[in-house]
Chains A and B, each alone.
Chain A
Amino acid sequence: AQKVTQTQTSISVMEKTTVTMDCVYETQDSSYFLFWYKQTASGEIVFLIRQDSYKKENATVGHYSLNFQKPKSSIGLIITATQIEDSAVYFCAMREVSSGSWQLIFGSGTQLTVMP
C-alpha cells in the first residue's frame, strides 16, 4: 500500500534563508507522481510543484525546487530566499499510476514559520 511520511512537524527559519522539508514515500509502483501543496493560514490549499518518477531532473518552479532521490524514496522540498509569506503548512503527496485508483495520498504536513 502506498504511504507518504513527513516526519518534521514544524520548522522555523529566518527570513531570506533556505529551508528543506523532508518527505519519504512507499510504493510498489514503478511509475508515480509526487506533488507538494501549501496550505496558508486562511486554509487555502494551493499546488506548488510536481515531480514525475521517470524524470531524473529535479523540478524547479520559482523559488521552489525538489530534491528527488528515487533510490531513497525521498522527495524534499527546498525553498530558497524564504519570505514571511512562505509561512504555511506544506503537504507532500503521491499518486501511483498502475494501481488504477487515481488516489492522491497526502502526508501529515510540515508547519513552516518564517521569522523576520
Chain B
Amino acid sequence: EAAVTQSPRNKVTVTGGNVTLSCRQTNSHNYMYWYRQDTGHGLRLIHYSYGAGNLQIGDVPDGYKATRTTQEDFFLLLELASPSQTSLYFCASSEGGCERLFFGHGTKLSVL
C-alpha cells in the first residue's frame, strides 16, 4: 500500500507568519497534490506536480507556493499566512494522472 507522510500533523501560527508543510511519498509515484479541506467545500486543489521540478496551479492557489524538490518530496509554503488559510491540508500522490490517489493523514493548520 502506498505511503504518504505529512508533517507536521498540527501547526499553529500567527497572521503574517511563515509556514512550510511537508509531504513525502515512498512509492515512486510521479504525481503529487496539495488539497485543502473546508466545511461545505470538500477538497479543493491548491497545487500539483507530475515530477521533480514541475509545478502546476490548481483551483485555489492564491497565497500558496509549492515546490517539488525530488520525486518523493512536495512542499507547500505559506509565506504570509492569513486566518483564511486555517484549514485541513491533505497531500496525495498517484502513479499516473488518471489513477487513484493515495492520501496522507492531513495537517491541521490554524492561523491566529
Given the interface contacts A101-B56, A103-B45, A103-B59, does A47 sit within 8 Å of B100 by beta carbon? yes
Measured in the bound complex, the distance between the Cα atoms of B4 and A46 in whole Å is 12
Contact (Cβ within 8 A) A50 B50: no
Indicate if the CB atoms of A106 and B42 lie closer than 8 Å.
yes
- A102 near B40: Cβ-Cβ < 8 Å: no
The answer on a CB contact under 8 Å between A33 and B98 is yes
When the two chains form their complex, are residues A102 and B100 in contact, meaning their CB atoms are under 8 A apart? no
Q: What's the nearest-Cβ distance from chain B to residue A3, in Å?
A: 11
Interface size class of B (residues with CB under 8 A): 20 to 34
CB distance from A25 to the nearest CB of B (A): 13
Chain B CB within 8 A of A91 CB: yes
Of the residues B98, B101, B105, contact of A44 by C-beta under 8 Å: B105
CA distance in complex: A44, B1 (Å): 14
Size class of the contact patch on chain A: 20 to 34
> SS class of chain A's interface: helix, strand, loop or mixed?
strand
Q: In the complex the two chains form, is B48's CB within 8 Å of A91's CB?
A: no
How far is A97 from B97 in the complex, measured between Cα atoms in Å? Answer: 9
**Those of A71-116 within 8 Å (CB) of chain B:** 91, 93, 95, 97, 101-109
Residue in B35, B42, B101 whose beta carbon sits within 8 Å of that of A47 in the complex: B101
CB distance from A44 to the nearest CB of B (A): 6
Return chain B residues, CB-CB under 8 Å to A106: 35, 42-44
Distance in angstroms between the alpha carbons of A35 and B41 in the assembled complex? 17
User: In the complex, what residue of chain A is closest to B1 when comparing beta carbons?
Assistant: A46
B interface residues with partner A (beta carbon < 8 Å): 31, 33, 35, 40-45, 48, 50, 56, 58-59, 88, 90, 92, 97-98, 100-103, 105-106
Minimum-distance CB pairs A-B, first 10: A102-B97, A45-B103, A47-B100, A108-B42, A106-B43, A106-B42, A109-B42, A33-B98, A43-B106, A103-B45
Query: Mind listing 21 A-B residue pairs with CB under 8 Å?
Result: A6-B42, A35-B100, A43-B88, A43-B106, A45-B43, A45-B103, A47-B100, A50-B100, A91-B42, A91-B43, A93-B43, A101-B56, A102-B50, A102-B97, A102-B98, A103-B59, A105-B59, A106-B42, A106-B43, A108-B40, A109-B42
